[in-house]
């Protein structure tokens, strides 16, 4: 006697035969009443959802955040209090490649975290780099177009990439990290994660501090050269999935140390850099990192699609004690991430098991596709607000301190005015060893092959302005006259 469960339709009706379609005779034709066949084919047609426009290829796992330090005077967030342990999920990703792209490609990596706190989900949706290519959201869709496929050739275009970067000097910092060793980590475990944006901490006495989040790998930094990556991709396109899933399966749980940099609110105007500019870091000398806790990944997903393809991160998800900053890129992501999930996953995506908060949820959003969950207002008669039926209501204890804005109103501020786009990329270049600098410039020269000379020269001027040795090194590798570059850089 078989102990297997009986196969059923989606409605639970037992299936008698899953091998032979129903037909009028042995050679056909098919009968329309063969509902099991129709349902099977119909489901297959619906097995895909739109892949993410960016960060399509990803790898993820569940784990915990354990707080070992004490930052309780800066934030009242319960999940950041000493001793707190919070369940979480992480998803890592490449930015440009599609769902089937190879893992070991030179690209920025997404480092997205969702913490299931008792005060709602806190999502920190960052990258493995502390900065980004652009500082104004107007530039984001154009930038992504240069990373995706050319509309006619359907090929990736380094001409488009360098054209955009060379016309957008604010990208130099991120380009320099992308082309350095850290642009091609061996696995998700061997890279840092950064919240990248500046966020707020709200203290128990309702005072605002600015904060940056850093997750430092405890596995050590390990990178592939371009040649090594070719070897990896030739053998497997799934090297990150294999490494992350395999490590957790073996009980080798990857860990990261959580550090924060904290800036008093009034310091925001005191530096040569704008602390809300996503193309800049806060120098550690100005704001030393404070150790806060440990992130550990220790459970593989049971179902990749349900838990990793459908996990939906958004910087709009914050908890009391953590908030946003004026960073324009962050502000635009507050809209665009949740919007992407409504499009990809549907109106009620936050109620999918992987996204569903582990605390009570009360809201008055009503119907729509997949409205499958219980009423959330606290009382069935309270389906609008305000009401007299003890439905969920606001609580002003959660109000944030006002955000200080000290500027004349103007429609637009030129984001390139008064910004030094060269100093920090130069600092980065100068902290590299000679070997690291050499590999950085080799990688750049390799990525510039076939790009029109005018664009190459325009970009080398930026490298030169960051550090003359940086410009000269790339120029000599590209066969470009250094004196011409030096002259242009001085203008
Ligand atoms: P510090 O020397 O105090 O900090 C250097 C930081 O740079 C460390 O976080 C280190 O990360 C990281 N780093 C070291 N080597 C490399 C490398 N080859 N590629 C990328 N990152 C590296 O200097 P500052 O804070 O003054 O920053 C100097 C430059 O370092 C910045 O302009 C920026 O480019 C880069 N940087 C700065 C960060 C910051 O938050 N201040 C963060 C990351 C990079 P790790 O501890 O993991 O080795």
pLDDT (tens digit, 9 = 90+) per residue, 75-95?
A: 999 999 999 999 999 999 999
Which residue, by CA, sits nearest to atom 17 of ligand 1? 432
Length of the chain counted residue by residue:
491
pLDDT for 293: 98
Residue 1 has pLDDT above 60, yes or no: no
Look up residue 179 and give its two tokens. 């082309």
Give residue ranges with CB within 6 A of ligand 1: 130, 177, 180-182, 192, 216, 281-285, 424, 427-428, 431-432, 436
Residue 153's pLDDT band (cuts 50, 70, 90): very high
What region, left, alpha or beta, does residue 418 occupy, with left being phi > 0 and alpha being psi -120 to 50 degrees? left
Residue 415 has pLDDT above 90, yes or no: no
Number of the ligand 1 atom closest to the C-alpha atom of 192: 47
Distance 197 CA to ligand 1 centre (A): 16
Distance 364 CA to ligand 1 centre (A): 46
Residue 158 CB partners (closer than 8 Å, separation 6+): 447, 448, 449, 450, 451
pLDDT for 413: 82
Lowest mean pLDDT among 24-28, 401-405, 450-454: 401-405
What is the average pLDDT across 247-260? 98
pLDDT for 123: 98
Number of the ligand 1 atom closest to the C-alpha atom of 289: 40
Please say whether the beta carbons of 111 and 92 come within 8 A.
yes
pLDDT for 409: 75
pLDDT for 404: 83
Which residue, by CA, sits nearest to atom 4 of ligand 1? 284
Residue 343, classed as helix, strand or coil, is helix
Distance 432 CA to ligand 1 centre (A): 9
- Round the average pLDDT of the chain to a whole number and report it: 96
CA distances, 331 to each of 168, 199, 451 (Å): 21, 11, 34
What is the average pLDDT across 13-23? 97
Distance 240 CA to ligand 1 centre (A): 24
pLDDT for 281: 98
Which residue, by CA, sits nearest to atom 43 of ligand 1? 130
Cα–Cα nearest to 400, from 201, 197, 123, 196: 201
The 10s digit of each residue's pLDDT in 336-382 is 999 999 999 999 999 999 999 999 999 999 999 989 888 888 889 99
Ligand 1 pocket test: pick from 128, 173, 284 the residue with the most ligand atoms within 8 Å of its Cβ: 284
The answer to pTM > 0.75 is yes
Percentage of residues of the chain with pLDDT beyond 90: 92
pLDDT for 219: 98
What is the average pLDDT across 455-459? 98
Strands 109-117, 85-94: pairing is antiparallel
What is the average pLDDT across 293-297? 99
Residues identified as active-site: 55, 127
The 10s digit of each residue's pLDDT in 208-225 is 999 999 999 999 999 999
Residue 284 has pLDDT above 60, yes or no: yes
Percentage of residues of the chain with pLDDT beyond 70: 100
CA distances, 94 to each of 105, 109, 136, 288, 465 (Å): 8, 5, 21, 29, 29
Distance 431 CA to ligand 1 centre (A): 8
As a whole number of angstroms, the distance between CA 414 and CA 161 comes to 23
Ligand 1 pocket test: pick from 109, 215, 431, 438 the residue with the most ligand atoms within 8 Å of its Cβ: 431
């Amino acid at each position: 006697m078989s102990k297997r469960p009986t196969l059923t339709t989606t409605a639970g009706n037992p299936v008698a035969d899953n091998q032979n379609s129903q037909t009028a005779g042995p050679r056909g034709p098919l009968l329309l009443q063969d509902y099991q066949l129709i349902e099977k084919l119909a489901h297959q047609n619906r097995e895909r959802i739109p892949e993410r426009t960016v960060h399509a290829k990803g790898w993820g796992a569940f784990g915990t955040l354990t707080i070992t330090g004490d930052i309780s005077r800066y934030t009242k967030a319960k999940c950041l209090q000493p001793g707190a342990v919070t369940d979480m999920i992480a998803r890592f990703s490449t930015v440009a490649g599609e769902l089937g792209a190879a893992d070991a490609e030179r690209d920025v990596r997404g480092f997205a975290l969702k913490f299931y706190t008792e005060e709602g989900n806190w999502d920190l949706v960052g990258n493995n780099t502390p900065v980004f290519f652009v500082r104004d959201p107007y530039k984001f869709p154009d930038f992504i177009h240069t990373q995706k496929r050319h509309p006619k050739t359907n090929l990736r275009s380094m001409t488009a990439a360098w054209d955009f970067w060379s016309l957008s000097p604010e990208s130099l910092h991120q380009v320099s990290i992308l082309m350095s060793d850290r642009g091609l980590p061996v696995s998700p475990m061997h890279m840092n994660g950064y919240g990248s944006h500046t966020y707020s901490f709200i203290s128990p006495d309702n005072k605002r501090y600015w904060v940056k989040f850093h997750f430092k790998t405890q596995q050590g930094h390990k990178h592939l050269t371009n040649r090594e990556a070719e070897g990896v991709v030739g053998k497997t396109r799934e090297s990150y999935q294999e490494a992350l899933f395999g490590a957790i399966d073996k009980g080798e749980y990857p860990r990261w140390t959580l550090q924060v940099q904290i800036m008093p609110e009034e310091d925001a105007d005191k530096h040569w850099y704008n602390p809300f500019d996503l193309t800049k870091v806060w120098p550690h000398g100005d704001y030393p990192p404070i150790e806060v806790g440990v992130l550990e990944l220790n459970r593989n997903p049971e179902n990749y699609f349900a838990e990793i393809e459908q996990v939906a991160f958004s910087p709009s998800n914050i908890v009391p004690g953590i908030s946003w900053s004026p960073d324009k890129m962050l502000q635009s992501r507050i809209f665009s991430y949740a919007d992407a999930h409504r499009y990809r996953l549907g109106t009620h995506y936050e109620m999918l098991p992987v996204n569903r908060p582990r605390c009570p949820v009360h809201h008055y959003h009503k119907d729509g596709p997949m409205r499958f969950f219980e009423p959330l207002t606290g009382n069935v008669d309270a389906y609008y607000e305000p009401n007299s039926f003890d439905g969920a209501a606001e609580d002003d204890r959660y109000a944030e301190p006002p955000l200080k804005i000290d500027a004349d109103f103007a429609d637009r501020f030129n984001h390139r005015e008064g910004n030094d786009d060269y100093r920090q990329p130069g600092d980065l270049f100068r902290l590299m060893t000679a070997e690291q600098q050499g590999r950085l410039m080799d990688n750049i020269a390799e990525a510039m092959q076939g790009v029109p000379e005018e664009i190459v020269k325009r970009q080398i001027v930026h490298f030169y302005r960051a550090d003359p040795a940086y410009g000269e090194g790339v120029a000599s590798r590209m066969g470009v006259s250094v004196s011409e570059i030096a002259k242009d850089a001085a203008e």
